[in-house]
Structure 1
Amino acid sequence: MTLFPKPQSLEKARSLQEALRNRVVLEGSLEGVRRLAALDAAHKKGGPLVAVAVLYDLEKGPLFVGRGRVEEAELFPYVPGFLSFREAPAYLEALRALPEAPEVLLVDGQGIAHPRGLGIASHLGVHLDLPSLGVAKSLLYGRPEAPLPQEAGSAVRLLSPEGRPLGYVYRSRTGTRPLYVSPGHRVGLEEALAFVRRLPTRYRLPEPLRLAHLEATRARVEAWSTGSPGS
């Protein structure tokens, strides 16, 4: 696993994204996948950014939590559309802490539903050569093809301004706010949505990502109060 590059400017970061998007593969099935890593991160100004990787078995549930951190002074600036440069180093550390490699990455963020086609799920997937997909809580890029019904499991395509499919707007629970599902790498658009629909979902977020969010919040509190996110 190589070190994640830290560009020295937004122009260099943009150029790297534009180059890497050509390596994204939007084909592949997740049929039969059992073990995934759900990724989420948290940061409070003045402390480190902490990230977690929850190793989750679709038959057994959560197995292990890996944590990573990047000190605030070392963080890439917060700029929408460039979050992978800010968060990925901590995610890679969290993934290294897992006892085994996951079959797929489930990332709190965007896949190809990104202005340059390389959200954090795509960036991590290409960097690690792992199947990946993004499940984001808010819209970054694109527009819904049609109004989304209120019923659980409803989905409509998410389209680029030119009409190219980027993923799906998905309602995981009746009446909740939608999620934005997009393939990251080595998985097709419909296959990404099908996989998210397979995930246990008690609340708005699929359970693996909900656990990752809770663990990231806990790690942030620990980092703030003790100076270490633990392991």
Structure 2
Amino acid sequence: MRGGCNLKINQRHSWTLTVEEAIAIQEQLQAEVITVDQLKEPVQYVAGVDMGFEADGTISRAAVAVLSFPDLQLQETSIARRPTSFPYIPGFLSFREIPAVLDALEKIKLTPDIILCDGQGIAHPRRFGIACHLGVIVDIPSIGVAKSLLVGKHQDLSDIRGNWQPLIYKGETVGAVLRTRSGVKPVYISSGHRISLSTAIDYVLRCTTKYRLPETTRIADKLASNK
């Protein structure tokens, strides 16, 4: 087992920004997103990150859960809080959430091989959702696992676990709508960084047991919302 986190956080910009400045950063950093597989094999640790808010949204509460893979046993968790510095605006989730997520990631000792984010990857108006933004900053393969659709359209999906349909936006496949549990609402998967869509779908399914969400996301969500 690997020990001692060697996470390298490359702070690429300030987090105190106007919307116009945030758009410029998304467009600049999107060029660095890699949507082919660059994973370290074998994958030993998978992490979920999620966010909650306290004090009427003025305090961001980020959670990280690191699980062993493939047995999905919880190995480590961390929580970090900081003042919320960016408003809630659809399409700009990363600027609101990543500062606290980075604080939480700095606390962990195990380096995850893949990070599953509660949000979008390239299935985003500027192809740069939170999974892309975080993946580029920490240079770790990342996957967007969103509970709702942000952009794109897809064909009808069967009710069987593992079935998926391409998510099409402006004529391009930007992700997949994936049934992680038979008869339950799907999730929306997209590449974040250093991982292909097909590989992202595979790992999301392998990280999902008897619930709709991957265990990484489910545990991080409980920590972030103090459930």
TM-score w.r.t. structure 2 length? Answer: 0.90
* 2:156 counterpart of 1:143: no
Deviations 1:162-182 (A, max 9, x none): 221111101111111110000
Which residue does the alignment assign to 1:214? Answer: 222
Q: Which moved more, 1:43-52 or 1:107-116?
A: 43-52
Which residue does the alignment assign to 1:225? Answer: none
Measure how far apart 1:47 and its partner are: 4.4
Give the Cα–Cα distance (whole angstroms) in 2 for the partners of residues 199 and 81 of structure 1. Answer: 26
- Report the structure, 1 or 2, having the larger helix content: 1
SS of 2:198's equivalent in the other structure is helix
Letter aligned with residue 195 of structure 1: Y
Give the Cα–Cα distance (whole angstroms) in 1 for the partners of residues 218 and 72 of structure 2. Answer: 16
- Out of 95, 105, 109, the position equivalent to 1:99 is 109
Give the Cα–Cα distance (whole angstroms) in 1 for the partners of residues 212 and 17 of structure 2. Answer: 37
- Is 2:15–2:99's contact at 8 Å kept on the other side of the alignment? no
Equivalences, count: 215
- Out of 176, 184, 196, the position equivalent to 1:168 is 176
TM-score w.r.t. structure 1 length? Answer: 0.88
Q: Which moved more, 1:19-28 or 1:199-208?
A: 199-208
- Out of 36, 53, 69, the position equivalent to 2:81 is 69
Tell me, which stretches of 5 or more residues in structure 2 are unaligned?
1-8
* 2:51 counterpart of 1:41: yes
- Out of 139, 145, 154, the position equivalent to 1:129 is 139
Give the Cα–Cα distance (whole angstroms) in 2 for the partners of residues 199 and 113 of structure 1. Answer: 21
- Is 1:34–1:103's contact at 8 Å kept on the other side of the alignment? yes
Letter aligned with residue 15 of structure 1: A
Which residue does the alignment assign to 1:183? Answer: 191
After the TM superposition, list the runs of 4 or more consecutive aligned residues in structure 1 that deviate by more than 4 angstroms.
Answer: none
Which residue does the alignment assign to 1:226? Answer: none
- Is 2:180–2:208's contact at 8 Å kept on the other side of the alignment? no
Give the Cα–Cα distance (whole angstroms) in 1 for the partners of residues 142 and 90 of structure 2. Answer: 20
Query: RMSD in angstroms over aligned alpha carbons?
Result: 1.5
Give the Cα–Cα distance (whole angstroms) in 2 for the partners of residues 76 and 132 of structure 1. Answer: 23
Measure how far apart 1:77 and its partner are: 1.1
Measure how far apart 1:100 and its partner are: 2.1
Percent identical among aligned pairs is 40
- Out of 188, 204, 207, the position equivalent to 1:199 is 207
- Is 1:7–1:13's contact at 8 Å kept on the other side of the alignment? no
